[in-house]
Amino acid sequence: MIFYTSESLFLSTFFFFWTNSFFCLSSVYIFLLANKFMNTIFYHRLEGKVAIVTGGASGIGAETVKTFVENGAFVVIADINDELGHQVATSIGLDKVSYHHCDVSDEKQVEETVAFALEKYGTLDIMFSNAGIGGATAMSISILMM
């Protein structure tokens, strides 16, 4: 016959949960170590590369800038929204990101942005064309309907 007192049952239950918690904590620790190792292998794939991200002041462009920097790149944000562009560059870090005003519908401004990147970083490895171009259409819908 096995007889458990409330104390021994409490201690055995506590030990069971403690060992399971220890197992869970050690599993989490191993996961974090593996994740750190994988980050070192797969992140920083862009280490030392220079990128221009058009439309980088907001939305997908801003997230692309962050991802490029997380992977080790230097980034020039090219956008027409100066205030947001400077905010994104400052929030990420001016040591890795700079802003240059650029309207991609103006070829001269694109050339100036490339020249800015080359002057600042000495090279250009990636051109991420994210900016959209909008404007008047050639024909109105009423003309097309005729």
Q: Whole-prediction pTM value?
A: 0.65
Higher pLDDT among residues 39 and 54, named by residue: 54
Nearest to 113 by CA among 134, 105, 104, 131: 104
Which pLDDT tens digit goes with each residue over 85-115? Answer: 999 999 999 999 999 999 999 999 999 999 9
Residue 127 has pLDDT above 80, yes or no: yes
Distance, in Å, from the CA atom of 93 to the CA atom of 79, rounded to the nearest integer, reads: 17
Residue 125 has pLDDT above 90, yes or no: yes
Distance, in Å, from the CA atom of 57 to the CA atom of 63, rounded to the nearest integer, reads: 9
Distance, in Å, from the CA atom of 6 to the CA atom of 24, rounded to the nearest integer, reads: 26
The backbone torsions φ and ψ at residue 99, rounded to the nearest 5 degrees and listed phi first, read -115, 140
Q: What average pLDDT does the chain have?
A: 79
CATH T-level fold of 50-129: Rossmann fold (3.40.50)
| Domain boundaries, given as residue ranges, for the chain | 8-42, 50-129
Tell me which residue has tokens 């001269």.
108
